[in-house]
Amino acid sequence: MRKYVGEMIGTFFLMLTVGCCVIAAASGVIAPLAIGSALMVMVYAGGHLSGGHYNPAVTLGVWLRGRCSLQDVLPYFIAQGVGAILGSIAAQAIKGNGPIARMVLSTGPAFAAEVLFTFALVYVVLNTATAKPTAGNSFYGLAIGITVMVGAFAVGSVSGAVFNPAVAVGLGWIGLIAWPSVALYWIAEFLGGASAAWIFLSLNPEDR
């Protein structure tokens, strides 16, 4: 149960940061820096409890890689989803509940952006937080947070730089993403996470 509570707390603060930035219409460098930093500190805070996934795509990748029990996958998904919804509610309570401009997506580019940068995120997680050669390092949280920050700078204007099915649900709750479009994010992000696990295992067969 400690693991699931840890996942819920970490996802809550990640989504709270995302939600507050969205509702405040933060522009320039502020939102990517804030969101990447929030993920970084939560990974450091809860990594020893749950692995610090805070993202169903990461959980899928870690499970396929062999470092997460199958019995934990669904509870992690649920904890992450609950944390994201609670984070969205808290962001609305703090920042207000005014109208938010819904993202207009170009489906092909948005799908590609989410696949590629979710792949990058999960690939970084697997190599810095689960690989034998990097065991015990102190940089894994920084690497993970910066990956999200880089993705937000690179494709934030294309897809919203979600890279996380739980955050997609939270953004749907806020109203930034139309609920039918959440499926696009889920498919792209789970595909990116699974692909990262397969590539990791292909490149590190001794680390299975």
**How high is the pLDDT of residue 1?**
86
Structural tokens at position 8: 């819920």
Q: How far is it, in rounded angstroms, from Cα 166 to Cα 180?
A: 15
**How high is the pLDDT of residue 106?**
85
Residue numbers of the chain with a pLDDT score lower than 50: none
Q: How far is it, in rounded angstroms, from Cα 190 to Cα 64?
A: 11
**How high is the pLDDT of residue 57?**
98
Burial class (CB in 10 A: 0-12, 13-18, 19+), 24: middle
**How high is the pLDDT of residue 99?**
57
Q: How far is it, in rounded angstroms, from Cα 110 to Cα 93?
A: 29
Cβ-based neighbour number of residue 3 at 10 Å: 18
Give the residue among 53, 54, 38, 19 at the shortest CA–CA distance from 171.
Answer: 19
Domains in the chain: boundaries: 2-207
Per CATH, the homologous superfamily of domain 2-207 is Glycerol uptake facilitator protein. (1.20.1080.10)
Please tell me the pTM assigned to this model: 0.95
**How high is the pLDDT of residue 23?**
84
Structural tokens at position 43: 């990974």
